[in-house]
Amino acid sequence: MLSLESLKQHLERAHIAGHIYQHHQILVLQEPFTENGSALNIFVQHELTADQIGLQFAVEHTDQKLKFLIGVTHSNQDHRSEISIGHLKGNQKAFNLCYAFYNYPKHFFVVETDLYANAEQFKDCLEKQLFSQPELSFLDTATKVNPMGQNYPWMKDYIAQLSLEMKVRIQTSLM
């Protein structure tokens, strides 16, 4: 099993992010990159409601186990429930929520899974820990039509695909 420092070195050599921030046993990928080294688009916005999702990715090193974490912010135009870094608890504090977009986040979620979970286990984790949250029900209305004329949940698909790709890139960097 890799030490936390060795894990960080592997991630840095793989050029997965512009900076890797350490918070206790968590390594958060700040300014993540695509495989070709360009900036990764970690934001997705609903066309009709202006609800926006921001994603951050991290690896947690605990008890001889590596976990993949996704910090998810949800922002919208409702100013009644803005959160700040001071309101985060536990491992949530590893994620920097001061995004310079429309407004401060309204909700924050952490998705946690084994780094080596297979794609089906990972998607199940996303469904249970994120997509089933009542605050994110707007994701069900974010649909597009595919070439075969079928509606598909494009925001959910984007979040799942981007997150799975980053998880696989992290796994690959450790080989």
Closest CA to 161 of 59, 40, 76: 40
Closest CA to 58 of 76, 41, 47, 70: 70
Taking only the tens place, the pLDDT of each residue in 139-173 is 999 999 999 999 989 999 999 999 999 999 999 99
Taking only the tens place, the pLDDT of each residue in 2-35 is 899 999 999 999 999 999 999 999 999 988 888 8
DSSP the chain: ---HHHHHHHHHHTT-EEEEEEETTEEEEEEEB-TTSSBP--EEE-TTT--EEEEEEEEEEETTEEEEEEEEEEE-S-GGG---GGG--GGGGGS-----SSS--SEEEEEEEETT--HHHHHHHHIIIIIT-GGGGGGGG-EEE-TTS-EEEHHHHHHHHHHHHHHHHHHHHT-
Cβ-in-10-Å burial (0-12, 13-18, 19+) of 116 comes to middle
Question: What does the pLDDT read at residue 64?
Answer: 79
Full domain range(s) for residue 76 = 4-173
Count: domains in the chain: 1
What is the value of pTM for the model shown?
A: 0.89
For residue 98, pLDDT over 60 is answered with: no
For residue 78, pLDDT over 90 is answered with: no
Which residue shows structure tokens 């991630």?
A: 11
